[in-house]
Structure formats: C-alpha cells, structure tokens
Chain A
Amino acid sequence: MINIEVNGKKIDAREGETILSALKRAMIKVPTLCHMEGLKPTGACRMCVVDVEGFNTLTPACSYPVAEGMKIKTHSPRAVRARKTIIELLLANHPDDCLYCERNENCELSRLAAEYGVRERRFTGSRNRYPLDVSSPSIVRDPEKCILCGKCVRMCEEIQGVSAVDFIRRGSRAAVGCAFEQGLNISSCINCGQCIMVCPTGALREKNSLKEVIAALNDPEKFVVVQHAPSISVTLAEEFGVNPGTDVAGAMTAALRRLGFKRVFDTSFSADLTIMEEASELVHRIQSGGPLPLMTSCSPGWIKYVEEFYPDFIGNLSSCKSPQQMLGALIKHVFAPKEGIDPAKVFNVSIMPCTAKKFEAHRPELGVDGIPDIDAVLTTRELAQLIKEYGLNLGALDPEGPDGPFGIRSTAGKMFGATGGVMEAALRTAHYFLTGKEMPNLKVQSLRGLYGTKEARVSIADLEINVAAVSGLKNAAALLEEIRAGRKNIHFIEVMTCPGGCIAGGGQPLGADTDAVRARMQALYNIDQKENMRTSHGNRMVRELYEFYLEQPLSEKSHRLLHTHYSKREVLI
C-alpha cells in the first residue's frame, strides 16, 4: 500500500498500479477516451492528463504509475485547459452531425464537450471526407466521426484476434479502416460488434433493421412473429435508465405485443432444444470416438472465425444451428402449418444481443428449402428504440406471459445468455442421457463467472468429461492452439464470441462496465436459482415437440430443420 494525495486528500494506492486505477477506486473521475480496462495503455488521447506536483508537464493518468507521496491535482487549471483543447481539436474536423447521429445523447465526445463547456468552434480544420461503409450486414462504419482513439483496433486485434481494421496512413490523413480501404464485408470481420461497444462516438454502429420490421408490422399480409434471446430480458431495462441486472421479461413481452407482434416466443426454448440435440451429439461422439472436442455452434462470430482462421476444426463444430435459427425454422415449418398459416406469410423477427446474428440470418446454409429461417434481426438497442418510438413506457406495462408453444423455457436455456451457461445446461442433460438420473447438484460452479477461460471436470457414471467455456476469441484461439499442439483431454468446448457471453454482446446497451455485466450475469443465475424447471430435458414443451413432431434428437426431421454444416472461407482481403 502506498499513500498518495489527490486534490488535497490522502488516498490509498497499490504498488505498481496506474494513477487512473487509484483514482477510480477512490471514485475520483478523470475523463478518458482511449483507455481500455484490462489492456495496456496506449496514451493516444491524453484526455486523462493530471497535474503531478514537481512535474513540468502534465501526466497521463492511464499509463503513469503511482509513487509514494505523489501529490496529484486532477483538475488544476492547466489540466482542465489541456483537456478542453483536446476536445476542441477533436471537434475541429468533426462533422457537426449530432442531431442525426446514432449516438446522439449517448456519445462520449459530445458528453465531454458539454462537460468541459465547449460551446463554440475554436479551431477549424478541413473536414476529412470518407465514404460510409455500409457493406457489412452487421456493422456500419462512418470514418468521418472517428477520433482515432484506436479502441476498435485494439478490441478487434487484442480481444477478438481478428484484426479486420487497423490504422492506415499517418498525420492528417490517418484513418482507421480495412486493408486496401475495402468494405468490412470482404474483410475478416466476424461481425461481433465489440468495436461498437468501445467506440466513443458514432463512427461505429449496427446496421439498423427497424425499417423492415416496422414495414412488416404494418403489412396486413404478414404474420409477424418475434423471439427474444435469453439475455435480452436482463439488459433491456438499462436502455430505460433502470439498474443493470433487472429482469423485465414480463414487461418486455407486454411491450412486444403492443408493438403488434402476433406471437412472442422465447429463444431460450430453442436453446433447450439445442441442448437436447447437442448433448446427444456429445454422447454420440464420445461413444463412437469423435471428432472431439465437440465445439458449440450457437455464436455466429465464432463460426465465421473458425471458417476463416481454423478451418481444420470445422469438423469439431456441432452441427446444431443456433437457437435463433432453430426457432425460426420451427416457426415456419412446424408452427405455421399447424396453425393453418401460410409459411410464406410468416415474418420472423428476432431480438438479439448480437450484431453477428444479422449476418447469420442471411447465411444460405441456414434456412430450409431456400426459405430463410429469420427475416430480420434487431439488437437490444434497436428494440429499445422501437419501444420508445411507439411511446411505450416499459415501467408502466403489466407483465405478461409468453405465447405457446415456443414460449416455455427451462432456466438452463436461459443461462445461454452468459459464458459457461451453455456448458452448464449441456452437462445437466448429458448426465441425464448417460445415467437416466438428474445431476445431483445442477450447478457447476467452476463454469460460472466472468473469466475468459473456464475449465471443469465432471464425472458422469464411469466417464470423466473435461469441458471448457471460453469467451473472447483470442481466448478461444489460445485453446485451439493447445489442441493443435497435441492437447487431447478436452471433450467439449463452449465458445462465445463476446467476452462474458451474450450479456455483453455487440448489440447490448452501450456503456456497461464490468460491474454492469456482472449484474446481468447474476440476474440469469438468480433466475436459475429461483425457478423449478432447471433442465432442458425437463422442459415439457420440448418433450412434446419431440413426441408430436421431431421424434428424437438427431432424427431425420431434426436434421432437416435444426442442423447444418459449415465450410472453409477465404478472407478476400
């Protein structure tokens, strides 16, 4: 422990930590634009400068270590002036587009400009003109609004191991872009949207699908059905100013009905179904000798990553479609005929925590007889926008229950929303499949929590099963490298593209810190603790679906609707 003095008050700092980290713990706010928790500081933006007694120049708090007896002023006149100048310079060649900007009211740059009282243009730089990149099905890049903080570049490279974007050129012509300044669609981008989550401005955003959805809702010919992913109900409320970790499943269902959706289904139902199929696949592969380890296939960013960077592991991927696609196929090919609705009139909307789901919905491999399973994907943020646009007050709506038959879920399916959740759910069901009995303690503690890589060993009957749950593709790559190098003792790997899983997906409410993500995760665990139906095989609607239609897991019918295949993908640039 070392003592430092900040703004005249003593605070405790830890050996080796940065000034910024000590300030954060003491709840003293210093603005940052390029700082990323958990990554090495780059010192690119210099917004975090503070005045340290005895130092001639201002010191960047994000990269400078504390020292015994250090006296710091976070808001000395020259520190404040420096920050203000930085903001003014960033705005010098910035488009004055706030009113029309996706990030209006949620922009770190404009918030800082307001906080520091920047109310006139002091520098006029020539504005950089760059084309908008709308080539990707998931992400829109607007380089004119980019302030070159480098966070997206680092996220893409250091957390996701993709490096679709990087800094190009230098000086006044520097920009962030893909190789050869081509569109994201032909780059290695896996559509995860994590770059959006860290971008302080409107330079990165999702490809918005509200227009199609609103058009479908107003089309009397269309039967518009909605499904919501497991994590949405525990994150949506944040968009309405409610604390992270609040579950609003009932109010959300009510809101979706008010918006005009004819049926409100729950993707957690098809998550249960995924578990039935995937656990059967696991048991089958263990008994018939491979290919192992089996790897989950519900996260579309991860799938594209394997296709591009690790095609030798394609055979390890589960052939299960993701829950989104499974439910889409079931709605069109089982629910519609049964209800006497023309499947061609069904318009499937899914509310997802994820921008890559927009890409997934377009994949030709996913669909049945040329009919796409899903017609439009909205992120949590887009749903919030739709609810606001329709003037609905989420807090004032009485909770409502989901529709049958695809609204019933177990808590196992619900836990798909957090890293480790799929694995926990799968183990519960694999245990039942192998022994005919329930797992004594359904909870697998070592698969819980916000760690990038988690491993567990479970004994089921006379089998020792080793499993891993990883999130953040750099972590997944590290595990794959171990396997390439000869590691043989893993049977089953769950991979979620986004660090923490869907609760921190690229379509979730912006500005969440680790604590907020942890609260979202806890909300899912609480649901698992509170409710009684805690296994996917225990979901009565899932059982009914097998009895009434699918027969059994991995049957011919389930293969037609619920499974797919993948192939190697060349990165074009």
Chain B
Amino acid sequence: MMNEQPQETISRQPGQSLNHDNIQAVLAKYPNAQRELLIPLLQEVQEQQGYLSKDAVIQIGKHLKLPTSKIYGVATFYNQFRFQSIGKYHIMLCRGTACHVKGSFSLLNTLQRLLKIEAGQTTRDGLFSLEVVACIGACGLAPVICVNGEFHGNLTVDDLPKILNQYRNKEKKGDA
C-alpha cells in the first residue's frame, strides 16, 4: 500500500523556525509596507518558518501598524496558514475531487479524532501535524495521504490507526 513517489511540493522540513532577527530581516525587505502586503508577508514568513509564530504575527503587526487580532482574523480566514510548527511527521490529506469522491472527508474526521487535533494543528507531543491540501496529484491512489513525502493510497478509515502506529513505532525505535 505504501508508495514512494517523488513530489516537489514536499520539501518542507519539520521543526524549522525563524528567530526574531530573521523575521525582522524579512520585514526589512519591505520598509514602507502597507496593509495590502499583509498576505504576501504572512506567506513569506510561513514559507521560511513553516508556520506563523506569535512573535512573527506581533512583529508583522508592528511593521504594518495592524492589530494582531486583525492579522489573526485575516490569516484564519484563509486555509493556507498555520500557527503551530509542523510536527515531526507532517500529514497532508488530499481533499481534491477524486479523493473527495472516494471518501477523504471521513479520513479527515477520523484523523482529527485519532490525533485529537484539527487540520492546521500539531499534536501536543509534536509528533504529528495535519494539513488539508487541494489535489496533490496522486489521483490514481485516491483517497490518499502523504506523510513526510511517503504516500499512502487507496485508504479506508480502518487503515489510519495502523499507519499512525507505524510512525509512532519508528519513533520509539529511534529513541531506544
């Protein structure tokens, strides 16, 4: 069931985060930025940091003279932003049409229940994070999830606990 498939969208490494100075460096590129640049700035910081930290949002707010509540409101309006660093295993769940037809919605619900997080969040132990993406181009395997670049296709909800445990075990072995 496991399929290795090279995909260029999966380049993110978990755990990266930008420190205060790096965020300042991003902001320094746009010295006179106005509100219109909010989304691009959020995207750029997320691109580098993997998520939007509180500190990043506060600094962007100071730079653009926007209240953090407003920035958070805008950022949560779109699905593309996350506010927690991604987990060691980043699960991308495809919600493209093919996967939808084959039941990706129940996969999402089950994953959220099993991991006790919502899409966009990271488990408390930092092991898993969950992201919903539009088509990842593996329609042949629908419904499909992709964990750190590893594809798991033709899934049913019953497969999910096994898959999660597989990564948990890997982690345990690594620790020992």
Contact = CB atoms under 8 A, between A and B. Distances in A.
Given A163-B67, A188-B67, A573-B54, A179 B77 contact: no
Contacts of A240: none
B76 A165 contact: no
A241 B73 CA distance: 40
Q: Interface of chain B, helix or strand or loop or mixed?
A: helix
Contacts of B77: 167-170
A163 B76 contact: no
A234 interface: no
A204 interface: no
Interface string A179-219: 11000000110000000000000000000000000000000
Q: Interface of chain A, helix or strand or loop or mixed?
A: loop
A573 B68 contact: yes
Interface string A159-176: 000111111111000000
A178 interface: yes
Given A180-B83, A573-B58, A168 B67 contact: no
A180 B70 CA distance: 11
A40 to B, nearest CB: 17
B72 A180 contact: yes
Contact of B72 (A162, A170, A179, A571): A179
Contact of A167 (B57, B67, B73): B73
Contacts of A167: 73, 77
Contact of B69 (A169, A170, A187): A187
Interface string B45-78: 0000000001001100000000111111100110
Which of A164, A179, A180, A187 has the most chain B CB within a 10 Å cutoff? A179
Contact of A163 (B54, B58, B70, B83): B70
A573 B58 CA distance: 7
Contact of A178 (B58, B69, B83): B69
Which of A157, A178, A187, A573 has the most chain B CB within a 10 Å cutoff? A573
A166 B54 contact: no
Contacts of A166: 67, 69-70, 72-73
A359 B70 CA distance: 24
Contacts of A169: 76-77
A172 to B, nearest CB: 13
Contacts of B70: 163, 166
Given A163-B69, A180-B54, 10 more contacts: A164-B67, A165-B69, A166-B70, A166-B73, A168-B72, A168-B76, A170-B76, A179-B71, A179-B72, A188-B68
Interface of B: 54, 57-58, 67-73, 76-77, 83
Interface of A: 157, 162-170, 177-180, 187-188, 571, 573
Shortest Cβ-Cβ A-B pairs, 5 listed: A163-B67, A179-B68, A166-B73, A179-B72, A166-B69
23 contacts: A162-B67, A163-B69, A164-B67, A166-B67, A166-B69, A166-B72, A167-B73, A167-B77, A168-B72, A168-B73, A168-B77, A169-B77, A170-B76, A178-B69, A178-B72, A179-B54, A179-B57, A179-B67, A179-B69, A179-B72, A187-B69, A188-B69, A573-B54
